[in-house]
């Protein structure tokens, strides 16, 4: 199972995630987030990481200038959580993952079909105006409907205790975990990360 560890703000956490076998590392580049990584800090952190790990910049309605700056300092893939259009996503020179809220009252299925043309779509819970890192578990039945049609990345309230259940019930392409691995906002807990990867590994062996 591909695992993306998101909301990273510290070198030691990023390296620990890499050593445990993370598929991708996520860095929040929207200032409104409590896990925001300012450009200079992001540059220092990204330059200290191994080359063979995917580094994802997470944005909400960014300008092209903000994106270009992120790419210059080592971001290799983009993840958009705002109202970015398909055209804007396709204009980018690196792969783009579009995040959609697991909300059946909105035009979820039509949006899913549109943005799945870019590749795997990230499905996340939404709490008010907060995008990502909410700690809230999303609608897994809706996520399964999506997973049966397209490759999806499941996010929202995932942690070491529910990760196996989430994988079994939704069958995602990948999982994305942020707040469920923290000791405090922006700081990952090594024991939680180790437990998460151990449970995923054991589940793979047993399956």
Q: State pLDDT tens for residues 144-196.
A: 999 999 999 999 999 999 999 999 999 999 999 999 999 999 999 999 999 99
pLDDT for res 105: 75
Rounded Cα–Cα distance for residues 22 and 14 (Å):
9
> 65 vs 10, 26, 55, CA distance in Å?
25, 19, 18
124 is catalytic: yes
**Architecture of the domain defined by 2-206:** Alpha-Beta Barrel (3.20)
Half-sphere exposure at residue 43, Cβ-oriented, CA atoms within 13 angstroms = 8
Select which of 6, 13, 89, 176 is catalytic.
Answer: 6
Mind listing the pLDDT tens digit for each residue in 22-66? 999 999 999 999 999 999 999 999 999 999 999 999 999 999 999
pLDDT for res 185: 95
Select which of 13, 103, 107, 124 is catalytic.
Answer: 124
Cβ count within 10 A of residue 2: 16
Rounded Cα–Cα distance for residues 84 and 20 (Å):
33
Confidence category of residue 104, pLDDT binned at 50, 70, 90: confident
Q: Are 96 and 77 in contact (CB under 8 A)?
A: yes
Rounded Cα–Cα distance for residues 35 and 7 (Å):
6
pLDDT for res 189: 98
pLDDT for res 77: 99
pLDDT for res 106: 74
pLDDT for res 127: 58
pLDDT for res 137: 86
The single-letter DSSP state of residue 117 is G
């Amino acid at each position: 199972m591909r695992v993306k560890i998101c909301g990273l703000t510290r070198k030691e956490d990023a390296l620990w995630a890499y050593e445990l076998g993370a598929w991708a590392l996520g860095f929040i580049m929207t200032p409104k987030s409590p896990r925001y990584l300012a450009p200079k800090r992001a540059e220092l952190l990204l330059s200290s990481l191994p080359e063979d790990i995917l580094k994802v910049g997470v944005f909400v309605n960014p300008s092209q200038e903000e994106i270009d700056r992120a790419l210059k300092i080592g971001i290799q893939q983009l993840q958009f959580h705002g109202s970015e259009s398909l055209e804007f996503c396709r204009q980018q020179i690196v792969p783009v993952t579009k995040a959609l809220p697991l909300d059946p009252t909105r035009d979820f299925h039509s949006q899913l079909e549109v943005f799945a043309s870019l590749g795997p779509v990230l499905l996340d819970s939404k709490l008010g105006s907060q995008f990502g890192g909410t700690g809230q578990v999303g609608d897994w039945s809706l996520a399964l409907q999506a997973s049966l049609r397209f490759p999806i990345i499941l996010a929202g309230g995932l942690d070491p205790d529910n990760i196996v259940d989430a994988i079994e019930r939704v069958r995602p392409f990948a999982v994305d975990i942020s707040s469920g691995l923290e000791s405090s906002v922006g700081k990952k807990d090594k024991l939680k990360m180790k437990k998460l990867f151990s449970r995923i590994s054991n589940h793979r062996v047993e399956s």
